[in-house]
Amino acid sequence: MARTGFRLALLATLLALVVVLLGAYTRLTHAGLGCPDWPGCYGFISVPNSEAQLAHAELHFPDSPVEAHKGRNEMVHRYFAGTLTLMIILLAAQAVRRRHQEGHPFKLPLLMLGVVVAQAAFGMWTVTLKLWPQVVTAHLLGGITTLSLLFLLTLRLSGGFAPMPELPVKLRRLAVSGLVLVVAQIALGGWVSSNYAAVACIDLPTCHGEWWPKADFANGFHLTQHIGPNYLGGQLDSDARTAIHITHRLGALVVTLVLLALAWQLKRAGLKGMAGLVLLALGVQIALGVSNVIFHLPLPVAVAHNAGGAALMLTMTLVNYRVRSVVGLATKANRIPGFQGQGLAHPQLHPGK
C-alpha cells in the first residue's frame, strides 16, 4: 500500500522530467541567455513586450537586445523549475512532520531540498557567468540528480514492490558500476553540449574520415579555464571540440558493454523484465545518439537524446533500488531472533532447497 506523499512524489518526478527537457530545449535553442538577469527577465517577471518595457530593457541591458522567443523559452523553464521547487519543499515539510512514522523517508526529502537549493544557485550562475561550461554541466547534473532522487523517493513511498530473491554479489556490483558510468556519461554529454561539440564529428563510425583524428584533449578538458566573457556558441577550437566528442563516443562504448553485461546477469538471475528494460533504454539512447550525428543534431532528436539519458538514469536507479533492497531486508531479518532471512532464498541460486 502506498504511503502518504506517494502521489505528490510521483507528480514531482514527472515535473522534474519536464524541467530537464525544458532545460535541454532552452540550451539547444541557444536561449540560455534569453534573459540576461535572474530570476526575472530584463527586470520583469515575464519577457518584456510593451514599448515601455522594451525601452527599460534597452536602457538597462544595452548589450543584450530582447529576443522574445529566446526569453520565453528561458522563462518557461524557470516557471516550471520554480513550481518543482515548491513541490520539493512540500515533500520536505511532510517528511519533517512524519519523521517519527516508521518506514517514512526522512533524510531523502531533506537531501532533495538541499540539491534543489544548489540547483537554483547554479541556474543563477548559468546566467551571470554567461554559460560557463563548468556551471552549465553542473546544472545539468543537478537536474538529473533531482529527478533521480525524486524517483527514488517515489519508489520508497510506493509500497508496491515485493521482496527480491537473494542475488549474486556480482550482479549488485555490476548494477552500481552501470549507475556510476551512466552518471559519468551524462556529465560528458553535458560537457559536449555546453562546449557546442555535438557536431564536432559528422560521420560514423569514424570522425573526419579518420579512426583517430587530430584532437586537443588538454584544452578540451581544461576545467580551470578563466570565466567569461560569453560562452554562447562556445570558445574552443575545432581540435578541442573533437577531443570532447570522441571522449563521449568512447564513454558510450564503455557504458554499452557494461549495461549489456548487466542485462545478461539480470536475465540469468530470472529478472527478465528488468533486463529487457535496461536493453530498451540503452538501445533507444544509442539510436538517438547515432541519429544526432547522421542528421547533424536536429532539435527534436537532440531533445529526445536528453530524454533518453534521463530514462537510462531512471532505469539504473530502479535496477539498483531493486537488486540492493534485498540486502537491507536480509540484514534486518537477521537481527530478529530465530529468523535468518526466511523466504528470501532463490531456488535457482540454492538448488538444494
How far apart CA 241 and CA 269 sit, in angstroms, is 42
Residues written for the chain: 353
Question: Rounded distance, CA 298 to CA 293, Å?
Answer: 9
- Our answer to whether residue 74 is catalytic in this structure is yes
In 3D, which of 138, 116, 231, 243 has the Cα closest to residue 190?
138
Provide the residue type at 279 as one letter: L
Residues 6+ apart with CB under 8 A from 276: 263
| First-to-final CA distance of the chain | 31
List residues bridging with 41 in a β-sheet. 44
CA pair distance 98, 242, nearest whole angstrom: 52
- Of the candidates 58, 74, 166, 210, the residue annotated as catalytic is 74
The residue among 139, 121, 226, 126 whose CA lies nearest residue 190 is 139
Q: Which residues are catalytic?
A: 74
